[in-house]
Amino acid sequence: MVKVKICGLQTIADVEAVNRAMPDYAGFIFVPGRRRYIEPGEAERIRRHLSPGIRSVGVFLNAPIEMILSVLEAVNLDVIQLHGEESNACIRELRKCLSGKFPGAEYLIIKAFRVVEQEDLEPARHSEADLILLDAGAGGGKTFDWQLIGDMERPYFLAGGLRPENVRAAIGKLHPYGVDVSSGVETGGRKDPEKIRHFMINARGTL
């Protein structure tokens, strides 16, 4: 069954809507200056209301490792998503620092890649992250040319421009490991419980 990630949670109401839908992952944006940015302390306050069956994700963009470690100390996250130009060397260093700072803890690392042309998929194929995410990268809920993906050999999250109306077709065409949505389940810049519900129905077939 395809995994579902709802990203950009900011309020208790967002968490309550996500809890009713029960996706696999829920994301918090720790990128200062972005509209959905949330302070780590506030993220932890609302994360405590998240259903135990939903894994919490912290999204970072070219953040210093020290900042990532600081957020992990403040917020009880399960997954780290790197959404910038982080290299394999950075991922290796991050893993080393994680094992030193949090011995025994296991963090899943997702690395996002912007897909504009087919060549953009090569770094994704060779990424040392646990999972990859393929995105339009332009913001504003835009899709990219899905034909560029071709036969991607490794599991990936599909992101960018997904909505309740097109997620079923995307899954049927591409068979991704997971789908990631944020603005596609919002109305007026806020998470919309009905859109979240319909996204889950169309992604999973049942709710």
Active site residues: 7, 135
Return the SS3 of 148. helix
DSSP H/E element including 81: strand 79-82
Q: Which of 90, 87, 177, 91 is nearest to 134 (CA)?
A: 177
- The answer to whether residues 143 and 160 touch, using CB atoms and an 8 Å cutoff, is yes
In angstroms, the CA 62 to CA 194 distance is 33
- The answer to whether residues 162 and 170 touch, using CB atoms and an 8 Å cutoff, is yes
In angstroms, the CA 137 to CA 140 distance is 9
